[in-house]
Structure 1
Amino acid sequence: MKICQRCGHENEENAKFCGICGQNLQNIEQPQKTNQDEKTYQQPADNQIRQEPDNQQIDFQPANSQQTSNQQQYNAPQNTYQPSYQTHAHKNMWIAVILDIVGGLIFYFLCGIGQLYLGLYKRGITLCLLGLVPVIINLLCLIADHELIGSLVSLLIGLILLVYSVYDAYKCTNAINEGQPIPLLFGSLDLQ
């Protein structure tokens, strides 16, 4: 039997953890009992009073000494690290611009993906290429220091293109499913 050092529970010999408190039992060396009259003392609960006979001297070390050190750690001051206040590192403008371009290309370039799924490759590629228009507008306004206006205009154009692309995919899907001719792109382009 393995006796837990924390709570005193008797666990099976092959147990790795205490069944009561969860203490690791793998590195515990169990004392060899040579005398059957030897008494085993367990750590009482906090609300119990331990009574020992006056004529016996017992060299008692708390079984939960490891727990005591853990409690001291919990009482240690938290968040003692104080960062030194330094000026922020200079950010590279070109990295920000490149990331903005890549993000815009990915977002707007996927406008025609529904048409590509339907097998309308010319139509899908046309919508994907039209998705570059808001990116180019945003870039031109960024270079001309009109970031807010350029962002709003390109966002508006991009959203209009996105909504039209969704509407066109819906209309084309219905036409394909019903066996009708594919509607014209923007009402004038015959791209199938």
Structure 2
Amino acid sequence: MSTSSLIIFNKPYGVQSQFRDDSNNNHTTLSQYFTDKSLRVAGRLDAASEGLLILTNDGRVNKAITHPPKANAGRKQGKTYLVQVEGVPTPEQLKALQNGVVLKDGKTIPAEVKHISADDLPMPLWQRDPPIRERKSVPDSWLMITIYEGKNRQVRRMTAHVGLPCLRLIRWSVAGFKLNDLAVGESIRIHLDSAHFQQLGI
């Protein structure tokens, strides 16, 4: 039996978080990056989003990330995103995101939200292909947002709800695992030990 492992992958823009293209549109899928058939995706990232995607051959790890244990309100499984938005956030907009906003599928639970400068991003960013849309008359800003739930396209809908349309979305960390300086399209494999299982609440 193979040892339990987890792969951290820096997913490029436009890549689907699955191995098969069910849409018949010849989208790029994970099969162009991984051949290990034992791997499963632990928490998808939509094609238009970039950054940290976790794959694992251990069902317990997959479940811990996608369905966090109720202990500690699932906070160990927080997901942090670097979000480029159109406009400059006001204190009121930041507070609304922190407290929770009402979306069609319910109110979001409190999130951690910080307005940061491009110089304070936790890693150097790569050029996105295609680049984001830019309007010379409208500035853009970066937010660091940590959420503890997983509604569909949640972060994009949250920022749009408060009047800050999302231009670029990069997932930086999940359940304590971070991208660090991993280049786009690259991956690293971690062999899991008891400390990792404890980190995941398993």
TM-score (norm 2): 0.24
Of structures 1 and 2, the larger Rg is shown by 1
Between structures 1 and 2, the one with greater helix share: 1
TM-score (norm 1): 0.24
